Amino acid sequence: TDPKQWIRALLLLLPWFGGLVLGEVVNDFSKCQQFFYRNTSPTGITGNHYQPICQRYNNSYRFATLYDRDRRSALYSAYILSSPEGKRDDETWMYEPQVRCDPSMQELNLRPDNNVKESQAVLEDYRGTLYTKGHLTPSMHQHSLEDRKATYTLTNIVPQWEGSNSGPWGELEKEVMSEFQKCCKEKMYVITGVMSGKKSINSRVFVPDYLWSAYCCPSYKPNLPECQSFFPTYAAVGNGFHVTRMSLNGLEKILRKRLEMPNISLFDGQCK
């Protein structure tokens, strides 16, 4: 059989499988540091169960994730917010086998094996539950179609109540986009994460008690009154169907207490 014909046939079959691979498991974020303000990832986070992932799709880095292998859920994802263009993306879910396996293995797997299931969530975890797959890096905050497709990886997903995902938290994401378009002159750096609780899906994937998001827009329009209360930094915390906006310092105080990590700092120099 012609190898080229075999490869073409394989590519045609890919959409029928439940998961594709993307991402690159790394020792640190040096390969994707551009998604953090001043190329500096959050400091003060400790624990050897956290795995940095440079989320790569079609040979380009799209955003960054710090993944908690023990809870089978991301602690946070970091990205640069951008207005979306082009057609709506399709939901083709992907997964990252290198979280647990040998990083030298080939990138493309057609289905999650036992090693993948041991270290991260898979689609089956969400079926028949009251939870939806909530993006930390939302597709609506990504510019190109490929950028948006890259967000559909299960290492960027946490369990979220349907009413929150499509309700208050979804509304927050729309408001943040509007504020970015109105107030920011250049880039807005975003870090969105969780504070996990004791609940889990199928004794596997931990359900967050809170979602949180922090925003850094160092170059903004200070003469606009509606921008003065938000920038250069602000934050938000969501609990169920309630979302509370607060200062970056207020969020960091909560994270230091809840995560028991007293030196957490999300943006270098407080985004100033």
pLDDT greater than 70 at residue 19: no
What's the number of domains the chain is made of? Answer: 1
Asked if residue 56 is part of any domain, the answer here is: yes
% of the chain surpassing 90 pLDDT: 57
Residue 217 near residue 229, CB atoms below 8 Å: no
Sheet strands (E) in 9-142: 20-21, 24-25, 50-57, 60-68, 73-80, 94-95, 131-135
Q: Which amino acid is at 148?
A: R
pLDDT greater than 60 at residue 21: no
Asked if residue 175 is part of any domain, the answer here is: yes
User: Rounded distance, CA 253 to CA 15, Å?
Assistant: 44
User: Rounded distance, CA 204 to CA 251, Å?
Assistant: 27
- Sign (positive/negative) of CA torsion 238, 244, 249, 254? negative
Asked if residue 196 is part of any domain, the answer here is: yes
Domain with 37 in it: what CATH number? Answer: 3.40.570.10
Cα distances (Å, whole numbers) of residue 183 to 200, 226, 248: 39, 8, 18
Which domain range does residue 56 map to? Answer: 22-109+135-259
Asked if residue 116 is part of any domain, the answer here is: no
User: Rounded distance, CA 80 to CA 5, Å?
Assistant: 39
Closest CA to 210 of 179, 235, 190, 181: 235
Q: What are the tens digits of pLDDT across the range 165-213?
A: 778 899 999 999 999 999 999 999 999 999 988 999 988 999 999 999 9
Provide the pLDDT for residue 11: 36
Query: In the chain, what is the straight-line distance between the N-terminal and C-terminal CA atoms, in Å?
Result: 60
Asked if residue 251 is part of any domain, the answer here is: yes
Asked if residue 167 is part of any domain, the answer here is: yes
Three-state DSSP class for 73? strand
Provide the pLDDT for residue 13: 37
Asked if residue 272 is part of any domain, the answer here is: no
Residue 232 DSSP symbol: S
Q: Supply the mean pLDDT for the chain.
A: 84
pLDDT greater than 60 at residue 103: no
Residue 214 near residue 237, CB atoms below 8 Å: no
Asked if residue 114 is part of any domain, the answer here is: no
pLDDT greater than 70 at residue 6: no
Q: Which amino acid is at 63?
A: F
